[in-house]
Each structure stands twice: as C-alpha cells, then as structure tokens.
Amino acid sequence: MSLLKIARMGQPVLRRPAREVADPTAPEVAELAADMIETMLDAPGTGLAAPQVYADLRMLVYRLSPERNAGEGLAPRVLVNPQLTVLDESLEEGIEGCLSIPELVGLVPRYRRVGFRAQGLDGRPIEGEAAGFHARVLQHEMDHLDGILYLDRMPDLSSLAFLSELGRPSREEAEREEA
C-alpha cells in the first residue's frame, strides 16, 4: 500500500465527471481502494473520492467516528459506482472542509436523508440509507465524482473561513469533517 498525492483545487481532474468503474472486482481497483483508505486515514480525513487522488473513476472511501454517527462508528468503506437518492428534501447546514481545499471550511446545506446504492469490491450491491453527518459525507464525496466542490454548494460565501481562525468548538467540529 502507498500514500497517494492529493489533488488540490485548480487541478482539472477535480472538475471533470469521473468514469464508471467497469469491473469493481479488478485487482487494480482493490489496490486503489486500499491506497485511498491509507491516504484518507493519514490525512486525516473522513472521506476521499478517486478524482482527489488523480484517478478518473467513480469510487470513494469514507469512515465515520462513533461521535459523528449516533454512537456507532463505521470502519472505512469503499463504494464503487455509487448513486444517491434524496429521501428527505429538507436541508441542513453544516461545516465542511475538503482535503483538496486545505485550511478552509464553510457552511454547506445538504439533504438530511439520502439513500445510496453502489457496488463493493466483490462486485455485490451495497445499499443503505444515511441521515445527518453520514448523509453529508456521502453527498460531499459523490459531488467529487461529478466535478463539484463544496464551495459550489455554498449559497453564502461569508461563512468561508480559515480553520485556524475559528473559535475552539467550531474548530474542533470542522477538523473532523475534511473530506
């Protein structure tokens, strides 16, 4: 396994829709997923999408700490060719950061509840529902697969801030949310 270089905003790969993964069971897909997980944990980050490591593929990895997911942590998970459905049209604002946009955080509205379908590395379907922070992470990461960054989703850029300039509670919240 190896750490991958993270693409920062300005790299064209972050602005292009990514390609479907033809064979989720291919060894190179498993290798990329393992490297993405290692890179996410090292950053550290909550999630990472393939375009963020210069891979033009529709796949992402993420994890949830217990305190961010109603007491139940989620070990790193790989979603290949993921799709999202909105289950609740209501929006919730929350702080987001992005490993491709270092040091900055901002308030982003996201759907409260979403459904997701994807393939695992074994090619089998993965389906589920997500709410709150989990739903936010999925929306952030799946946006990366369509060339969309969280800044594009901010209706008001006045909340954009350097993480280092935030007060302590906000900073601690924001630090957990880089994806």
Q: Which is nearer to Ni ion, 79 or 98 (CB)?
A: 98
Q: Cis peptide leading into 27, omega within 30 of 0?
A: no
Strands (DSSP E) along the chain, which ranges? 47-49, 59-64, 74-98, 101-119, 125-131, 161-162
Instruction: Give yes or no: 141 in active site.
Output: yes
8 Å CB contact between 150 and 163 = no
Catalytic residue among 89, 93, 127, 141: 141
d(CA 94, CA 45): 16
Classify 132 as helix, strand or coil: helix
d(CA 70, CA 109): 20
Q: Which is nearer to Ni ion, 126 or 151 (CB)?
A: 151
Question: Would you tell me which residues interact with Ni ion (CB under 5 A)?
Answer: 98, 179
Q: How far apart are the first and last CA of the chain?
A: 20
Shortest distance (Å) from residue 6 CB to Ni ion = 10
Query: Which residue is at the shortest CB distance from Ni ion?
Result: 98
Shortest distance (Å) from residue 147 CB to Ni ion = 12
Q: Which is nearer to Ni ion, 105 or 179 (CB)?
A: 179
Shortest distance (Å) from residue 144 CB to Ni ion = 6
Q: How far is CA 85 from the centre of its chain?
A: 16
Q: Which is nearer to Ni ion, 25 or 132 (CB)?
A: 132
Shortest distance (Å) from residue 153 CB to Ni ion = 11
Give the residue numbers marked as catalytic: 141
